[in-house]
Structures are given as structure tokens and as C-alpha cells.
Amino acid sequence: MALAPGTVAGLVPWLLTGWHAGHWWPPLRVIGLVPLLAGAWVLVHAFARFVRDGLGTPAPVAPTEHLVVTGIYRYVRNPMYVAVVAAIAGQALLLARPVLVVYALVALVVMGAFARWYEEPTLAGRFGAEYARYRHAVPGWWPRVRPWRG
């Protein structure tokens, strides 16, 4: 869990900023804690679902045995990616560093491309109709208001 999200949401922002804060309106900076902490919570929750319900990990080298459609995955198909982008955006506000806004957008595009051209075909091949039903019902990037009960 620490390797990919830790690198994308922790190491790279640190390399880009040294975690030195700029100067913005202080309440705006404090608001940055919300997406940062929410993103961290979602990452932990989503990873735990992979281990507990999927009997595997998000890493392609140790994939899940079962399609994970519980917990946060009932609302959005890519909660880890959404959480990483939220954490980066939160750091951008907290540190008042526009470079992290640009980085968050780049990360979103890269993760979106990976999900679209690698993960989705792989999951469709492994889980067939089960994944097709899930993909049709649960959005990839913007959470549903009500949980899917497939």
C-alpha cells in the first residue's frame, strides 16, 4: 500500500515542494486538510477491502481472487485513484503550492489512462459479466449518491 500511493501522494509532492508552504489565505490552507485526510482514510479503507473481500491486493503482481464491490467500492469504481488525487489537491491547498494542482491533474490523467486501457480490460477478462454489471452501475470517478446493491 505504501509503495504506489505513498510515492504518488507523498514522495513526489515532497520532491516538488519540500513540503515548504507558500502564502495563501490561512482558512483556505486549513480547508486543504479535508481532502488530504479524507483521501488518506479512503486509501486505507479501499486497501483493506482488497485484502479482506478480494483476498489479494491492488498490485497487478498479487491481484484479488474476487471482484471487490463492497464498502467504498459500492459508490465509485476507482476510490484509490480518487483518494490519491484528493490527497494531492489537499496538499496543494494546505501548502499553498500551485505546482501540486498541476501535478494532481497530471496524476489524474495518468491514472485515468491506466484504469481505462489496462485495468478495465483486465477486469472484464477476469470477471466477465460480473464486472460488466458493476461497471455499468457504478461510476469510475464521481461517486454515486446511494450505494450500489448489485
- Confidence at 57, pLDDT banded by 50, 70, 90: confident
What one-character DSSP code corresponds to residue 2? T
- Confidence at 24, pLDDT banded by 50, 70, 90: confident
At residue 110, what is the residue type?
V
Please indicate, yes or no, if residue 110 is contained in any of the structural domains. yes
What's the domain count of the chain? 1
Other Cβ atoms less than 10 A from the Cβ of 47: the count is: 18
| For helices 33-52 and 79-95, angle between their N-to-C axes, nearest 10 degrees | 160
Task: Rounding to the nearest 10 degrees, give the CA dihedral for residues 29, 35, 37, 39.
Answer: -150
pLDDT for residue 56:
87
Please indicate, yes or no, if residue 89 is contained in any of the structural domains. yes
Average pLDDT score over residue span 46-66: 89
Range list of H helices, the chain: 4-6, 12-17, 26-31, 33-52, 79-95, 98-114, 120-137
Average pLDDT score over residue span 5-9: 93
- Residue 62 pLDDT exceeds 90: no
Please indicate, yes or no, if residue 104 is contained in any of the structural domains. yes
Give the domain extent around 96: 22-137
Please indicate, yes or no, if residue 70 is contained in any of the structural domains. yes
Please indicate, yes or no, if residue 15 is contained in any of the structural domains. no
